Chains A and B, each alone.
Chain A
Amino acid sequence: MDEVPIKASNDVVHVRQKVRVAAAGTGMSLVDQTKIVTAASELARNTLVHGGGGMARVEVVSAGSGRAGVRVAFSDHGPGIADPGLALTDGWTTGNGMGLGLSGARRLVDEFDLATEPGEGTSVVVIKWSR
């Protein structure tokens, strides 16, 4: 497992690179690699911009059938998300973007788990499986 601190803008690039290497190692198709790297890029930026920085944990996981996948867990101790359901709606934005970060990232992965507590922080775990 690789841990990547997310403290500055270029850490988003570091997260992408770690996820790219892990995804390529599972034998995942190039399209699926691109999807998980793009989702990780969105979520890393959220961690930085909305969470005030945090951490990404990147690891290769395997399902019972021998299928391999990449799991990326993002965590921050920022303000949290008051209404996660709303935050996952296309077009919902705090004003800086187009509101595709969270909802778009969810569409690009196979598993998406968001846990957030106002005042405590946010954790997002995503998995992409190789086909």
Chain B
Amino acid sequence: MDRVPILKIGQTLLVPIQVELEDQSVLQLREDLADEIVATGAKGVIIDISAVEIVDSFIGRTLSTIGSMSRLFDADTVLVGMRPAVAITLVELGLSLEGVRTALNAEQGLRLLGAGS
């Protein structure tokens, strides 16, 4: 299983997903992020899915729970970089990503969090 890295930049955690997401990887990410938010006191999480080719209901639901979980630790989650084909497919699948906000790219995600300049 490939582990997704978590980078800390100021008060924000940046999560670039560059691996093919298997179920275990995304569950592991949820645990790792919980630990990391608590350890660092981060106020925001940016998950970059620009390299992710598909988001199915399991992956989408887990991203949602990551957002809801982060809220419990007083951190906001922004999902950035969704590919157009992924967005179209998610809508048709009937999946709404509750718990997370979205932005076009990491820069706009940072602005949404109030963390960028």
Give A contacts to B, CB under 8 Å.
9-10, 12-13, 16-17, 20, 30-31, 33-35, 37-38, 41-42, 45, 90, 97-98, 100-101, 103-104, 107-108
Contact = CB atoms under 8 A, between A and B. Distances in A.
B89 A34 contact: yes
Contact of B85 (A31, A103, A107): A31
A5 to B, nearest CB: 16
Contacts, number: 71
A33 B53 CA distance: 10
A104 B23 CA distance: 18
Given A38-B55, A42-B57, A107 B94 contact: yes
A12 B92 contact: no
Contacts of A35: 88-89, 92
Nearest to A33: B85
Given A38-B54, A38-B55, A41-B58, 17 more contacts: A9-B22, A9-B23, A10-B24, A12-B22, A17-B20, A30-B85, A31-B88, A31-B89, A34-B53, A34-B85, A35-B92, A38-B89, A45-B58, A90-B94, A97-B58, A98-B57, A108-B93
25 contacts: A9-B22, A9-B23, A10-B1, A16-B20, A16-B54, A20-B53, A31-B84, A31-B85, A34-B54, A34-B86, A34-B88, A35-B89, A35-B92, A37-B53, A37-B54, A42-B56, A42-B57, A45-B23, A97-B61, A100-B94, A100-B95, A103-B94, A104-B95, A108-B89, A108-B93
A115 B53 CA distance: 29
Contacts of A34: 53-54, 83, 85-86, 88-89
Interface residues on B, range: 20 to 34
A100 B89 CA distance: 13
A100 B53 contact: no
B57 A97 contact: yes
Contacts of B23: 9, 12, 45
Interface in B61-91: 61, 83-86, 88-89
Contacts of A42: 56-57, 93
Contacts of A38: 54-56, 89, 93
B53 A101 contact: no
